[in-house]
Amino acid sequence: MTQETIINLSNVQVFIKKHLVLSNLSLQISKGEFVFLVGKNGSGKSSFLKTLYGDLTLEHGEGKVAGFDLKQLKRKKIPYLRREIGIVFQDFQLLTDRSVKDNLKFVMKATGWKDKRKMEETIQELLDKVGLGTKGFKFPHELSGGEQQRVSIARALVNDPDIILADEPTGNLDPETSQEIMKLLFSISQNGKAVLMATHDYELMAKFPGRTLKFEKGTIQNSASIHHKSDPDQVNNSSNQD
C-alpha cells in the first residue's frame, strides 16, 4: 500500500533575501517516511526546513506541505500550517521558568486548545509516550539533556502533526542518549508521521534505515531508502546548524 504524499516540491528555489541558497528542488515525501538531511554547514539544510514550515517564503517553484500551498500561503495562515508540523531543535528551546507540563500547555493555549481536562489528559499521554510520565512537574534545569529533548519532542507532538522536522536533534547529546532519541523519532515515523532529520552523525544514521537527502552544490541529491554505511569524511563534521 502506497503511503499518502505529505510533502511535494517541484522546481523549488530557496532564497534568503536576494541570495539563492537552493535550486532545482523536486521531491516527494510520504507519511511514515524517515528522511535524513545531510550536508556540510551552510549547504542549505536549515533553509530547506524553514521553507517547509513557512519561515522562508516560497517564491519560485511549486510546493505543497500537509495540504498547504506554500506559494499561496498568507502570513495569517502560517500558524495553521505549523499545527500540522512539529519542530524539534538542537538546543531544545524550552521555557526555563515553567514546568514540563506548563511548557506543553503553553503550546496548546497558543494553538487554540480550550478544554482543560482534555489538555491534562493529552499532556500525560504525550509524556508517557516519550518516557517522562512522572516528570511533568519538573523544570527544565532539573532534567538531563536527553530528557529535555524528549520534552521538546512531546511538545512537537501536541497537535498530532503529520510531519516532524528535527534540526540536529542529537547535536548536543552524548552517543547513548542520541541513540535513545533516534529510537523515539523512528518509532514516531513508524506510527505514520513523516520525520525529516538534519544531522551530521553518520554513525547514528548507520544504525537506522531511512532515505537520505544530501545537500551539496546548492541542490539536493536524492537517494532511495537504504541502510547507511558510515562516511568517515563526514562523521567528524561540526554539528552547528547552517
Q: Which fold has domain 1-84+162-242?
A: Rossmann fold (3.40.50)
Q: Check residue 111 and give its pLDDT.
A: 86
Q: Can you read off the three cell numbers belonging to residue 37? A: 538531511
* Cα 134 from Cα 63, distance rounded (Å): 41
Q: Check residue 240 and give its pLDDT.
A: 39
Q: Check residue 172 and give its pLDDT.
A: 86
Q: Check residue 1 and give its pLDDT.
A: 45
The CA-based dihedral angle spanning residues 220, 161, 224, 8, taken in that order and rounded to the nearest 10 degrees: -50
Tens digit of pLDDT at every position of the chain (242 positions): 457 999 999 999 999 888 999 999 999 999 999 999 999 888 999 899 999 999 999 989 999 999 999 999 998 999 899 889 999 988 888 999 999 999 999 999 988 899 999 999 999 999 999 999 999 999 999 999 999 999 999 999 999 999 999 999 998 889 999 999 999 999 999 999 999 999 988 888 999 889 999 999 899 987 654 444 433 333 333 333 44
Q: Check residue 228 and give its pLDDT.
A: 43
* Cα 179 from Cα 174, distance rounded (Å): 9
Q: Which residue has the cell 481536562?
A: 117
Q: Check residue 224 and give its pLDDT.
A: 54
Q: Check residue 41 and give its pLDDT.
A: 86
| Closest by CA position to 140, among listed 96, 105, 106 | 96
Q: Order of strands, edge to edge, in the sheet holding 68-69?
A: 19-30, 5-16, 60-65, 68-69
pTM value is 0.87
| Closest by CA position to 145, among listed 90, 207, 224, 108 | 90
| Residue spans of beta strands (DSSP E) within the chain | 5-16, 19-30, 34-38, 60-65, 68-69, 85-89, 163-167, 194-198, 210-216, 219-226
Q: Where are the domains of the chain?
A: 1-84+162-242, 94-160
Q: Check residue 241 and give its pLDDT.
A: 40
| Interacting residues of 122 by C-beta distance below 8 A, sequence separation 6+ | 108, 158
* Phi/psi at 20 (5° precision): -75, 120
